[in-house]
Amino acid sequence: MPYIYRYDNGRFTQFEKAVVREQPLTIMANGVELATFMCTPQKLDYLTIGFLAFEGIIQGPEAIRDLDVDPENGVVEVELTTELVRPQKRIFTSGCGMGLTFTLRTSHYPPLRQDLTLTPQQIFPLMQRLFEGATMYQASRGIHAAALSDGEQVLLLSEDVGRHNALDKILGEALMKGIRTEGCILLTTGRISSEMLRKTAFMGAPIAISRTSPTTLSIEAAKRLGITMIGYVRRSSFNVYTHPERLLYQAEDGAR
């Protein structure tokens, strides 16, 4: 860990401080450079599989014949079972780590199931488990975390300097372990922008919860797709931006 200087209460002190690792990752598919973006060099296999699935290049891990991760050089080489159909358009996202996607379309996603409900009393402990499980966040405060939950437990958790990458890792790990994401809840420390909302819809998650606020475009898409978007979660409060009908509410004693 590097030494840093901290100014506090009129004086400087020096101490060791954990700092988030960041490096470029290049994804090669069938010998073709598909994408290069910044990431945290952990779970690179899950990150690659999730990225390829989100972008429609693969449907699942069965579409991959071989996957070789070279963490030293920041390269993942993927051999597909079929010919690569390379997307033509790149869109750089608003996320940390200079994320990219090949599409922002959400109009082709069907509305999600409506039978999943949640209470305010479930939301606060779920976010608490997200922060407790995010060990790199606890050490450095310089990283994003995302988690998949069934409403009671956290099923998967990943961290990355890019909030989009954290979701890619979640999807990749879910695909590799055979964990269904449909009907689950997505938790994130990052802003739910339009591209994050697209990934939420892709995973079939009817509820997305964040500690920060969404964007106008993501709110519009969430309304259309039937996603309940909850943001700005604090110790005893949160905002519901879309589809509040999934929240089961009973006033507590003394509440107005």
Q: Identify whether residues 77 and 179 lie together within a single domain.
A: no
| Out of 3-7, 79-83, 138-142, least confident range | 138-142
Q: What is the pLDDT of residue 132?
A: 96
Q: Identify whether residues 226 and 151 lie together within a single domain.
A: yes
Overall domain count for the chain: 2
Looking at the domain assignment, is residue 77 inside a domain?
yes
Q: Identify whether residues 97 and 137 lie together within a single domain.
A: no
CB-based contact 198:106 (threshold 8 Å): yes
Residue 96 annotated to the active site? yes
CATH number for position 141:
3.40.140.10
pLDDT digits (tens, 9 = 90+) for 223-240: 999 999 999 999 999 999
Domain stops at, among 71, 101, 131: 101
Query: Given a cut of 90, is residue 201 above it in pLDDT?
Result: yes
Q: Identify whether residues 136 and 228 lie together within a single domain.
A: yes
Q: Identify whether residues 59 and 147 lie together within a single domain.
A: no
Confidence category of residue 94, pLDDT binned at 50, 70, 90: very low
Q: Angle at Cα 35 formed by Cα 32 and Cα 38, nearest 5°?
A: 145
Domain stops at, among 55, 71, 101: 101
Looking at the domain assignment, is residue 2 inside a domain?
no
Looking at the domain assignment, is residue 125 inside a domain?
yes
Looking at the domain assignment, is residue 107 inside a domain?
no
pLDDT digits (tens, 9 = 90+) for 98-116: 455 545 455 567 667 678 8
Q: Identify whether residues 142 and 184 lie together within a single domain.
A: yes
Looking at the domain assignment, is residue 42 inside a domain?
yes
Q: Identify whether residues 130 and 86 lie together within a single domain.
A: no
Looking at the domain assignment, is residue 213 inside a domain?
yes
CB-based contact 114:204 (threshold 8 Å): no
Q: Identify whether residues 134 and 230 lie together within a single domain.
A: yes
Q: What is the pLDDT of residue 249?
A: 81
pLDDT digits (tens, 9 = 90+) for 143-188: 999 999 999 999 999 999 999 999 999 999 999 999 999 999 999 9
Q: Identify whether residues 140 and 205 lie together within a single domain.
A: yes
Give all strands (DSSP E) within the chain, no chain letters: 3-8, 11-16, 23-29, 32-39, 64-70, 75-80, 91-92, 100-101, 144-149, 154-160, 185-188, 207-210, 228-231, 239-242
Q: Identify whether residues 133 and 179 lie together within a single domain.
A: yes
Looking at the domain assignment, is residue 5 inside a domain?
no
Domain stops at, among 74, 101, 128: 101
Residue 29 sits in which domain range? 23-101
Looking at the domain assignment, is residue 253 inside a domain?
no
Which tokens hold the place of 240?
Answer: 């519901």
Exactly one of 64, 96, 167, 170 is catalytic; name it: 96
Q: Identify whether residues 45 and 95 lie together within a single domain.
A: yes
Non-local (6+) Cβ contacts of 252 within 8 A are none
